[in-house]
Amino acid sequence: MLDTERLFADADRRQRLTKDDIFSVLSNRRRRLVLHHLHRGSGTVSVRELSKQVAAWENGVEMEDLTYKQRKRVYTSLHQTHLPKLDDEGVVVYDRDGGSVNLTDRAAELEPYLQVQSEPVASWPLYYLALSGLSVLVVTFAWTGLFPFPLLSDIAYAALVTGLFAASAVVHAYQTRSATVDADAEPPDSARPSRTRADETAADTGGDE
């Protein structure tokens, strides 16, 4: 059973993760896979289940096809290195005795960095800047009476500009909402076909990958 007092301990720590904290947590690929799995689920997850899923992603196989060595290697590194690191940062609550792990509210700050996106997201700031420039030109030409702009009333142009911004905002909101972690999706950096000794050492010890 999780120590419920520790679920509230994060309130006594820093209110938000710093950039250095975020980089430190996400600099290791195995921790990113751990967080992806925890974000796509709900509630408490056993370390055994977690290690099997991470090992499957890393080795590019189904969980039932994992070897004992593959499972054990990931389980050991999660237990000794990665889960304690995430617990220290206040991102998870790791119950060593119970062999379980649970996300904290603070983990939500990492979710944007774990998003699975199948298509590139448009550069919305540049898009809105271009749309604003186009709107200014339309309003200017309509105000000067340059043909064919007088064919429509000022109200029609105002409605057109408003409609363009409203439609853009709807699409923007939809893309942002759709870009959250998909419960059925592979992680953004799923298993490579082969892993070098350096890759495995970095994953086990918590070094950058």
Phi, psi of 61 (to 5 degrees): -135, 170
Q: How far apart are the first and last CA of the chain?
A: 33
Question: Does one domain contain both 76 and 106?
Answer: yes
For 6, other C-beta atoms within 10 Å of its C-beta total: 15
Are residues 155 and 192 located together in one domain of the fold?
no
Same domain? For 52 and 150 the reply is no
Residues 186 and 85 in one domain: yes
**Stretch (H or E) spanning 6:** helix 4-7
Number of domains in the chain: 2
> If you search the block for the tokens 């304690």, which residue do you land on?
84
Identify which of 87, 89, 95 has the alpha carbon closest to the alpha carbon of residue 4: 95
Tokens 């905002």 map to which residue? 169
Number of other residues whose CB lies within 10 A of the CB of residue 93: 23
- The reply to whether 132 and 55 lie within a common domain is no
The model carries a pTM of 0.60
Instruction: Give pLDDT tens digits for 75-92.
Output: 999 999 999 999 999 999
Q: Based on the domain organization, do 144 and 90 belong to the same domain?
A: no
Q: Are both 101 and 139 inside the same structural domain?
A: no
Give the pLDDT band (50/70/90) at residue 39: confident
Shared-domain flag, residues 79 and 161: no
What local confidence, expressed as pLDDT, does residue 49 receive?
94
**Closest to 7 measured CA to CA, from 111, 114, 110, 107:** 107
Q: Are residues 109 and 128 in the same domain?
A: no
Instruction: Output the pLDDT for position 144.
Output: 83
User: Which residue range forms the structural domain that includes residue 72?
Assistant: 4-117+182-205
Note whether 82 and 18 are same-domain residues.
Answer: yes
Average pLDDT of the chain? 79
